[in-house]
Every structure is written in structure tokens, then in C-alpha cells.
Structure 1
Amino acid sequence: MVQIVLFHAILGLRDAERDIADRFRDDGHSVLLPDLYAGRTAGTYAAGFALADEIGAETVEGRARAALDDADADAVLAGISAGAFRVGTLWSDRPVTRGAILIAGPADWSGLPRPDLPVAAHLARPDPFDDETYLEAWAGDPRASAALAIHRYDGVGHYFLDPALPDYHAGAAELCLERCLAFLASL
């Protein structure tokens, strides 16, 4: 079993992330669930972006980095939407991380992971935030030297694992979680 650090979406730490963490724990993994917004949440993406701007990128990044102080050096980095982007800002600083899970968004390749890092991406098709041209370029980026496995979920909303959002799709959410657990078991 592995330790996972799960970074929340732009909406803040909500029940959806807690439920995902519980699913991982039920499978025997330990999960750290940092609250990068210090208890604040938003109900819409627009409000989430405004909240993130109000808190400030430097504060959010500092809280994410501080959360890793409590994590094992080989902890799996996982993130949802903006949390997936957050993983990309951190993985180059974690040379022995066992893997990365990206849900509802890609990670930035500028902070390059090690070449053999197992990365599982779970992305809606289409996605309102990342169009197909962007995602194709992201997956084909020559800097993307990680062992990347991309799973697409057709006809679902951006954050399709959150039952509180109109994006939610029960079947896709279950399939995504099953695939995440299989990925974790492979590490």
C-alpha cells in the first residue's frame, strides 16, 4: 500500500475529495488531504477561481509545499483539476515519488518529473477548460518523458467525480476510481 497526497480542485477541499480519499483508504492506502484554502470553498468554478485569486498563488503554493513536509518521500502525488496542475509544480522536487494521478486536468510539464515516473491522467472528453488541441499537444509534448497513461471519459463534465456538481457522472466516476486503485496497486 502507498501513501497519497491528494490536492483538491479549484473549488477548495470539499466532500468529493474527502470521498475519494476515503475510497483510497478503504483500499488500504494512507491519504494526506491538504486544505490549501484553509477551510474556504466555492460552489462554482467562477467563484473558485475568484477565491484562488483572493488567497493568492504564492500562499496556495506555499501550503502545498508545506503539506509535503508530512509526506513520505515516495508518496504518490494526486490532484483534481487545479490540484492536478499543482502536482506538476511539485513533482520535480520529489525524485522518488512512486507515481502521479491527475484527475480532471493535466499537469504542467515545466517542472519535469523523472523520465520513468508512472502518471495516470483521467480526463473528460470534451473538457471545457482544456480543449482537444491543447490536450493532444500536452500528451505529445517532448518534455512529457514520464510513463503517461491517459484515460478519457466521453460525454461527462469536467469534474465528473463530484456529486455536488452538474458535471457528475456516476458511471465514469466509478470507472475512474477503479482505474486509480488499479494504478496504485501496480506501483
Structure 2
Amino acid sequence: MAEVLLFHHAQGQTPGFLAFADELRAAGHTVHTPDLFDGRCFHDLTEGVAYARKVGFDELLERGVRAADGLPHELVYAGFSLGVLPAQKLAQTRPGARGALLIESCIPPSEFGGPWPAGVPVQVHGMDADPIFSGEGDLTAARELVESTGQAELFVYPGDRHLFVDASLPSYDKDAAELLTWRVLDFLSTR
């Protein structure tokens, strides 16, 4: 079974985010869910992003990196949207990574000293018409990542929702979320 460091999105540790972590635990995986927002949750994505800007994206990234301190190096790093920042940085820069799950975001590997590290498989998930994932360059970065390494898989779901996996949000898409969860569990079963 895999050990996973899972980072939340810009609305914080919502009930849907925590339920996703529990689903991975129910499959036998160890899942760590650090709170980068010090207990704050936001009902609206815009409010969460405003809070992230106030704290500073660099500070949130460093909080995520510090969350790995004291944990084994042999982790799968995972994140939703904003949480992809620390997940991807750790997967690329912390020795021993077993894999990465980048959900609804992807950063060009060059931002973290790229290229993507050898021996670290990665899945990227997002919706094809999501104005954030598709419209802000994440989908392009994901396609470039897949082209640059034989260790990357890109799964694009039909739809225009951001945070479609979080069952506690109006953006939840049950069918896409179930398929994503099945793919994630399959990925984790080999780590």
C-alpha cells in the first residue's frame, strides 16, 4: 500500500476533500492531509484564492514542503488545484518520490528546476473545458509533461467544472469523480 501526502485546494480542507482522503484510506493507503490554511475553509473559490494571495503563494508552497518534514521520503505526492504546487514541487525535488497525482492543475516542470525526474510516475487529471485547468495553461503544461517523459498519464474529462472531485461543493461531478478515483486507486496500488 502507498503512503500519500495529499494537499487541499483553495477552499481548504472541505468535507469533500477529507472524504476523498478517507476513500484512499479505506483502500488501505496511509494518507497525510496537512492543513495549509490553519483551519480556514471557504464557501467560495474566489474567497479561498483571495486568502491564498494574502498569505502568499510562496508561503503556502513552503508550508507544503515543510509538511513533508518528518515523513518518509518514499511518498506519493498529491494535490488538488492549489495543492498541486507543493505536491509537484516535492515530487520533483525531494528524493525518493514514489509518484505524483496532479488533480486540476499542472505546472511546467521547469518551474521547479525540471525536467520531470526519472523513475517518478505521474497522473494529471482535469476537465477539458474547465476555465482554470484548460484556460490558464495547466492543460498545456500537462500535455508538455506527457510528451517529455514516458512516465506521465493525462486524463481529461468532459466538462467545465473546477474542483469536480469534491463532493461537498456545487462543482462536484459524480461520474467524473468516480472515474478519477478509480484511476487514482489503480495508480496507488502499484506504488
Displacement, 1:138?
3.9
Aligned residue runs from structure 1 range 114-133, under 5 A = 114-131=117-134
Q: Which residue of 2 aligns with 1:25?
A: 25
Q: Cα RMSD (Å) of the superposition?
A: 2.0
One-letter amino acid matched to 2:36? L
Q: Are 1:167 and 2:171 an aligned pair? A: yes
Contact 1:109/1:143 (<8 A) preserved: no
User: Could you list the per-position Cα deviations for residues 99-133 of structure 1 after superposition, in whole angstroms to 9, with x for gaps in the alignment?
Assistant: 00011111341213312310011111111113369
Most deviating of 72-81 and 60-69 = 60-69
Contact 1:95/1:114 (<8 A) preserved: no
User: Could you list the per-position Cα deviations for residues 52-85 of structure 1 after superposition, in whole angstroms to 9, with x for gaps in the alignment?
Assistant: 0122223312321221013210110000011113
Q: Which residue of 1 aligns with 2:151?
A: 147
Q: Are 1:68 and 2:89 an aligned pair? A: no
Contact 1:159/1:168 (<8 A) preserved: yes
How many equivalent pairs are there? 187
Contact 2:78/2:101 (<8 A) preserved: yes
Q: Are 1:53 and 2:56 an aligned pair? A: no
One-letter amino acid matched to 2:131? P
Aligned residue runs from structure 1 range 30-109, under 5 A = 30-109=30-109
Secondary structure of 2:107's counterpart equals coil
Structure 2 residues without counterparts, runs of 5 or longer: none
2:186 to 178, 182, 185: 182
Seq. identity, %: 32
Change (3 A) 1:97 1:73: same
Most deviating of 110-119 and 173-182 = 110-119
Contact 1:156/1:167 (<8 A) preserved: no
Structure 1 residues without counterparts, runs of 5 or longer: none
User: In 2, Cα distance between the equivalents of 1:141 and 1:175?
Assistant: 22
TM-score between the two structures when normalised by the length of structure 2: 0.89
Change (3 A) 1:157 1:186: same
TM-score between the two structures when normalised by the length of structure 1: 0.91
Secondary structure of 1:186's counterpart equals coil
